[in-house]
C-alpha cells in the first residue's frame, strides 16, 4: 500500500485502503506518509467531535439550570396557590358566619316568624357559626 491509496481530498472520511495477507494487515515503509496523513485527518475529526461534545455539554448544563429555575418557580406558585386557597376558604367561612347571623337577626326584626321560630333560627345560626369557626380553626 502506498500514499496513492489514501485520498486526502476526501475531507471528512479519512479512508485508508488496506492490503491483507494471511489475515494480517500489510504496511510498508512507503505507507508511513499516508498513515501519518490519515492520523492527522482522524485527529482533526476527533477535535471537531470534542468541540461538539463540549458544546452539547454546555447546552445541557444551561438547560439543567433553566429546569432548576422552573422547578423553583413551580414550587413558589404551588405554595402561593395553597395559601390563596386557604385564604379564600377562610373568607367563605367568615361570610357564611355573617350570613347566618344576619339571617337570624333579620328574621327577628321582620316579625314574620313567631318567637319560638326566631329562637330556633337563632340557635341554628349560632350552631352553624360555631361549626364553621371550628372548621376554620382546624385549618
Per-domain boundaries in the chain: 3-138
| Residue 89 and residue 139 in contact, taking contact as beta carbons nearer than 8 Å | yes
The packing angle between helices 115-138 and 32-110, to 10°, is: 160
What pLDDT is stored for residue 1 in this prediction? 40
Q: Which three cell numbers stand for residue 24?
A: 494480517
What pLDDT is stored for residue 14 in this prediction? 52
Distance of CA 16 to the CA centre of its chain: 48
Q: Which three cell numbers stand for residue 80?
A: 402561593
**Per-residue pLDDT in tens (0 to 9) along the chain, 139 residues:** 444 444 444 445 555 555 656 667 666 667 778 888 889 999 999 999 999 999 999 999 999 999 999 999 999 999 999 999 988 988 888 887 788 777 777 766 666 666 677 777 777 777 877 877 787 777 6
What pLDDT is stored for residue 11 in this prediction? 47
CA angle (111 as vertex; 108, 116 as ends), nearest 5: 65
Global pTM value: 0.48
Determine phi and psi for 71, rounding to 5 degrees.
-60, -40
* Residues sharing a CB contact under 8 Å with residue 34, sequence separation 6 or more, in sequence order: 1, 2, 3, 5, 6, 16
Q: How far is it, in rounded angstroms, from Cα 134 to Cα 120?
A: 21
What pLDDT is stored for residue 115 in this prediction? 65
Distance of CA 42 to the CA centre of its chain: 40
Amino acid at each position: 500500500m502506498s500514499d496513492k491509496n489514501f485520498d486526502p481530498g476526501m475531507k471528512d472520511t479519512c479512508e485508508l485502503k488496506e492490503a491483507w495477507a494471511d489475515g494480517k494487515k500489510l504496511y510498508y515503509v512507503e505507507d508511513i506518509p499516508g498513515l501519518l496523513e490519515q492520523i492527522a485527518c482522524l485527529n482533526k475529526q476527533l477535535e471537531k467531535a470534542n468541540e461538539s461534545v463540549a458544546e452539547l455539554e454546555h447546552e445541557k448544563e444551561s438547560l439543567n439550570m433553566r429546569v432548576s429555575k422552573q422547578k423553583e418557580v413551580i414550587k413558589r406558585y404551588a405554595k402561593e396557590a395553597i395559601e390563596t386557597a386557604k385564604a379564600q376558604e377562610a373568607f367563605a367561612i367568615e361570610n357564611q358566619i355573617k350570613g347566618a347571623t344576619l339571617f337570624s337577626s333579620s328574621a327577628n326584626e321582620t316579625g314574620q316568624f313567631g318567637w319560638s321560630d326566631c329562637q330556633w333560627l337563632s340557635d341554628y345560626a349560632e350552631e352553624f357559626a360555631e361549626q364553621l369557626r371550628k372548621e376554620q380553626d382546624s385549618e
